[in-house]
Amino acid sequence: MDLLDFARGPALQFALAVFVLGSTWRLAGILLLPRMRDLSPPRAGAPGALAGALGTIVGHLWPRREFVRATLFATVNSYVFHVGLALIVFGLVPHILFIEGLTGLSWPGLPSNLVYAVAAITLVSLLAALVRRVVHPVTRLLSHAGDYVSWALTALPVASGLLAASHLGARYETLLALHILSIAAFLVWFPFGKLMHAVLFVFSRGATGMRFSHRGVRA
């Protein structure tokens, strides 16, 4: 068994199993937590629970006007690499074929050169986010090893994918194997690090919106 066979065989299968089981375990651990029933009556004119949850989820996709100037770079840069990552994962034809093999779902892909350009922009954006985290005194103070691991395991699949597509640095089979291994590492880390925020932010913001709307507070 060579490196490529190992990467797309046992390594990827193990990573997918950890990803599914770990994510399920995290979600179950949160959703099954005991909750005290709120016995207070809702504030007069307060929106329903669902409206309050959706309002907070959508409303917090952009900072409040008072904080836009101070957080503009971080906000825009975050959108750049989040949207970029989504286009890479769900827009590149080989990725779509991989997802189809797992789930049976398929959709039209984007032109490869467009996705590669998006990947390059995404990698630059991720590097900018890292520089800001290191340079800014507040984010540097709040950051710990897990944050840097999450950053590295997000950036490595993008960088290795670009190298494989460009056939730079080694044989294509080796580059492809390293790309798949970087994705496997990402999947293993996902349920246990801050990358899980990609799923959990919906629940946390929704719960906050429900509580605040019940009290007549705008979140």
CA distance 18 to 119: 26
Q: Are 29 and 200 in contact (CB under 8 A)?
A: no
Structural domains in the chain, CATH included, are 3-23+66-202 (1.20.950.20)
Residues in the chain, total: 219
pLDDT in tens, the chain (219 residues): 789 999 999 999 999 999 999 999 999 988 888 877 777 777 777 777 777 778 888 888 888 888 888 888 999 999 999 999 999 999 999 999 999 998 899 999 999 999 999 999 999 999 999 999 999 999 999 999 999 999 999 999 999 999 999 988 889 999 999 999 999 999 999 999 999 998 888 888 888 887 888 777 766
Q: What is the pLDDT of residue 150?
A: 96
- Tens of pLDDT, residue by residue over 138-164, are 999 999 999 999 999 999 999 999 999
What global pTM score does this model have?
0.88
User: Nearest CA to 98 among 6, 8, 190, 7?
Assistant: 8
CA-derived radius of gyration, the chain: 20
**Left (φ > 0), alpha (ψ -120 to 50) or beta: where does 42 sit?**
beta
CA distance 74 to 72: 6
